Amino acid sequence: MIQGTGSDVGKSLVVAGLARAFTRRGLEVRPFKPQNMSNNAAVTADGGEIGRAQALQARAARVPPSVHMNPVLLKPQSEIGSQVVVQGKVVGTAKAREYQAMKPKLLGAVLESFGRLCAEADLVLVEGAGSASEVNLRAADIANMGFSRAANVPVVLLGDIDRGGVIASLVGTQAVIDPADAAMIVGFIVNRFRGDPSLFADGMKDIERRTGWPALGLLPFFEQAHRLPAEDALGLPTTNRGAGVKIVVLAYPRIANFDDFDPLRLEPGVDLVFVRPGEAIPGDAALVILPGSKATIADLAALRDAGWDIDLKAHVRRGGRVLGICGGYQMLGRSVADPQGIEGPPSTVEGLDLLPVETTLTGDKVLVEVAGQAEGVPFKGYEMHVGRTTGATTPMFALDGHDQGAVSGRIAGCYIHGLLTDDRQRRHWLAKLGSQTSGFDYEADVDATLDLLADHIETYVACDRLLALARER
């Protein structure tokens, strides 16, 4: 199990790299994260959803993603708290204090899923959540030491030297956690090192001396990390290249599944800009995308508060294109109704009235992989949404048994996540924007980057020793 001294220390990436490295050795590998919190989720073949990071780790292990790889997923919403997903299915919502009371009941599902993966694999790589030293949450923990102790899984502690204070964070973790928890830790790795590694050799020895844990690797910063899907809003790009056709994504507060746009970020000749509240939509944008949202009504209000509704109308008057995906598609319509109070108090709000559709939020959630054609060009992707949208006079595509989206002039909307991940559709949209397509193959690029990550980890981490430290179940 890879646990961290804090959030965003690189646990997900290290597990993905180890998964590919050990898979290349001929082992059957499965990733596992007992509890995750993320609004970037993936649909599984068994009809559920898991965190995007576990889907990437499954890809690294060259196996299909399963709901058992992330049995508890928390998806933050608005004032009602987080949606709680257990083994791929929504079981309700809970605020932070309410969720603490739920956790002991969830441990059974976590251990069941873990057992299933152990039965089919040579090696299970477990990723912790947040920090191993959150002793205030330890009593009902199912994500870090609580899981490790319950399942008897040894722990490697990961620290991030790039943020500073890595010696204190590693040594301090041992100082504050229970001695029985500390005994589960069998070694440590220092991640994201930059510069001459010999300058930190004494630091590694000092950590070993103070903790008694062996050093298992000093891992340099992986420069290609930005080419892999990020798990949460911490991974939202903050810069752009400033050249090529400009495509704008509205980064409202509860943006979800923004990895839909990773291929555009990497596409040569595209200037992808994430616009945040307080920033105006650039006047030279060729396409403005309204992405998915975990709380459509709340983010629609935030969109208006930011003045983006006015900017969008000006963009359309200038001849610009607009694409709404999932929650963004719902916002583009005439109204969004929430009669059951799924996102908050029951209400109906006016939409942006840029598409002739109406949406009603419903309790059942659509989770399915789909394939079809849009404007004669094939695509594949997935749907992940609550709500039904009706009234489209001109559908965006033909898709039997599913919402077909809507088109009105240069404005389009649909429920299909991954539409622009499909190279065929992305090239089609770039051609409509007057951009020359490059032939960039996104899926091949992700796979090649995972191989580079595995090479990187094999070079700097004691992988043979990690295997020796793993325990039989």
The whole-angstrom separation of Cα 86 and Cα 67 is 8
CB 460 within 8 A of CB 14: no
Residue among 311, 393, 305, 410 nearest 356 (CA):
393
Per-residue H/E/C for the chain: CEEECCCCCCHHHHHHHHHHHHHHCCCCEEEECCEEECCCEEECCCCCEEEHHHHHHHHHCCCCCCHHHCCEEEEECCCCCEEEEECCEEEEEECHHHHHHHHHHHHHHHHHHHHHHHHHCCEEEEECCCCCCCHHHHHHCCCCHHHHHHHCCCEEEEEEHHHCCHHHHHHHHHHHCCHHHHCCEEEEEEEEECCCHHHHHHHHHHHHHHHCCCEEEEEECCHHHHHCCCCCHHHCCCCCCCCCEEEEEECCCCEECHHHHHHHHHCCCEEEEEECCCCCCCCCCCEEEECEECCHHHHHHHHHHCCHHHHHHHHHHCCCEEEEECHHHHHHCCEEEECCCCCCCCEEEECCCCCCCEEEEEEEEEEEEEEEEECCEEEEEEEEEEEEEECCCCCCEECCCCCCCEEECCEEEECCECCCCCHHHHHHHHHHCCCCCCCCCHHHHHHHHHHHHHHHHHHHECHHHHHHHCCCC
SS (H, E, C) 312-376: HHHHHHCCCEEEEECHHHHHHCCEEEECCCCCCCCEEEECCCCCCCEEEEEEEEEEEEEEEEECC
Which sequence positions are flagged as catalytic?
326, 417
Query: How many angstroms separate the CA atoms of 80 and 74, rounded?
Result: 13
9 burial type by CB count under 10 A (0-12 exposed, 13-18 middle, 19+ buried): buried
Residue 176 vs residues 135, 161, 169: alpha-carbon distances, Å: 7, 20, 10
